């Protein structure tokens, strides 16, 4: 995060208690850092449990409140344990960032994707987001200012090829976000989605150079997208500044797709 961004987020999330899934590295870790630098406390949940704990320990060494917990979105019991742990560790829960997900179908067209791969992507990305949100609802309702931020993608907005399972799952996240917002508004819980473009993180290292060039050349802001380009949008949607914003999908991609 640049000094300008750090200054902008300072105090924005003061006192906020947030669970971030998929937070051991990449975007999730950037979100977690941003939350604590904004004055909040955080639980980093990830199937990469040792990496999550190392990241949390580093944040604690810097003077922030951060905890880590193992999370396997394939396992409903693990999801329930994660939500309970986060609420207990933080003394409640004001926000949930559903960042954890998977791709797996990259580089294959619709005729080549294995059924097992399709099912796993849907189970992690779609069912996992639903179950994680459901498990956190009691704590979010008790907060009186609960916020859920789902991580979608801009790929459904332009119909990215050779990525069908992932694109379908992120399109589902967008639709779920709107329905969740309708259902949970009465409990003063906002639900929004952030749809990043292709971002330089570990999870996109497999993406061919041609796809990176496509994004960089056709963005209004013609450069690579970095994790801290996305974290400000997530912080805004977790903050008090967005309490009347719900059911929205915010594309954060430098103007590659203008939604």
Q: What is the pLDDT of residues 135-147, one digit of tens each?
A: 999 999 999 999 9
Say which DSSP state 242 is in: G
Domain span including residue 128: 3-252
Confidence of residue 193 (pLDDT cuts 50, 70, 90): very high
**Residue 7 pLDDT grade (very low, low, confident, very high; cuts 50, 70, 90):** low
Long-range contact set of residues 10-14: C-beta below 8 Å, sequence gap at least 24: 10/37, 10/38, 10/39, 11/38, 11/39, 12/38, 12/39, 12/235, 12/236, 12/239, 12/241, 13/38, 13/39, 13/40, 13/235, 13/238, 13/239, 14/38, 14/39, 14/40
pLDDT at 200: 73
Alpha-carbon gap, residue 67 to 45, rounded angstroms: 9
Cβ-contact 254, 219 below 8 angstroms: yes
Comparing 44 with 228, the larger pLDDT belongs to 44
Residue 196 pLDDT class (50, 70, 90 cuts): very high
Confidence grade of residue 2 (pLDDT, cut at 50, 70, 90): low
Asked whether the beta carbons of 14 and 42 are under 8 A apart, the reply is no
Give the pLDDT score at 77: 98
Mean pLDDT of 199-223: 77
Q: What is the pLDDT of residues 80-120, one digit of tens each?
A: 999 999 999 999 999 999 999 998 767 889 999 999 999 99
Q: Are 235 and 32 in contact (CB under 8 A)?
A: no
Per the domain annotation, does 247 fall within a domain?
yes
Q: Has residue 171 been placed in a domain?
A: yes
The Cα-based distances of 164 to 112, 206, 209 in angstroms read 10, 16, 19
Residue 73 is assigned to a structural domain of this protein: yes
Count structural domains, the chain: 1
CATH number for the domain spanning 136: value is 3.40.50.720
Is 184 domain-assigned?
yes
Please state whether 2 falls in left (phi above 0), alpha (psi between -120 and 50) or beta: beta
- The answer to whether position 259 is within a domain reads no
Asked if residue 257 is part of any domain, the answer here is no
Q: Is residue 140 part of a domain?
A: yes
Q: Is the pLDDT of residue 202 over 80?
A: no
The pLDDT value recorded for residue 217 is 83
For every residue of 173-214, DSSP letters joined together read: HHHHHHHHHHHHGGGT-EEEEEEE-SB-SGGGTTS-HHHHHH
**166 among known catalytic residues:** yes
Helix, strand, coil fractions of the chain, as percent rounded to 5: 50, 15, 35
* pLDDT surpasses 90 at 46: yes
Element (H, E) at 148: strand 147-151
Give me the pLDDT at residue 215, please: 81
Residue 192's pLDDT is 98
Closest among 197, 22, 175 to 96, alpha carbons compared: 22
Determine, yes or no, domain membership for 258.
no
What is the per-residue pLDDT for 84?
Answer: 98
Mean of the per-residue pLDDT values for the chain?
A: 93
pLDDT at 259: 75
Q: What percent of the chain has pLDDT over 90?
A: 79
Which helix H or strand E contains 28, and what residues bound it?
A: helix 26-37
Output the pTM of the full model. 0.93
């Amino acid at each position: 995060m640049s000094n300008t961004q750090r200054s902008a987020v300072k105090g924005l999330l003061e006192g906020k208690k947030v669970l971030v899934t998929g937070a051991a590295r990449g975007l999730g870790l950037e979100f977690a850092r941003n939350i604590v630098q904004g004055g909040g406390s955080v639980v980093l949940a990830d199937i990469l449990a040792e990496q999550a704990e190392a990241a949390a320990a580093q944040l604690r060494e810097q003077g922030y409140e951060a905890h880590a917990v193992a999370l396997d979105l394939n396992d409903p019991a693990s999801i329930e344990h994660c939500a309970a742990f986060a609420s207990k560790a933080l003394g409640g829960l004001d926000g949930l960032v559903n960042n954890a997900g998977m791709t797996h179908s990259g580089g294959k067209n619709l005729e080549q994707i294995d059924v097992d791969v399709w099912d796993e992507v849907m189970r992690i990305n779609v069912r996992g987001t639903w179950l994680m949100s459901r498990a956190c609802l009691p704590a979010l309702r008790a907060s009186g200012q609960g916020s859920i931020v789902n991580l979608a993608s801009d790929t459904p907005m332009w119909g990215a090829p050779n990525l069908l399972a992932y694109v379908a799952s992120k399109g589902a996240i967008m639709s779920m976000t709107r329905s969740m917002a309708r259902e949970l508004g009465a409990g003063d819980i906002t639900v929004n989605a952030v749809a990043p473009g292709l971002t330089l993180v570990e999870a996109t290292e497999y993406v061919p150079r041609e796809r990176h060039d496509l994004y960089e050349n056709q963005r209004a802001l013609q450069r690579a997208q970095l994790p801290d380009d996305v974290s400000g949008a997530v912080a805004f949607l977790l903050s008090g500044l967005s309490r009347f914003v719900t059911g929205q999908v915010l594309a954060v991609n430098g103007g590659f797709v203008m939604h």
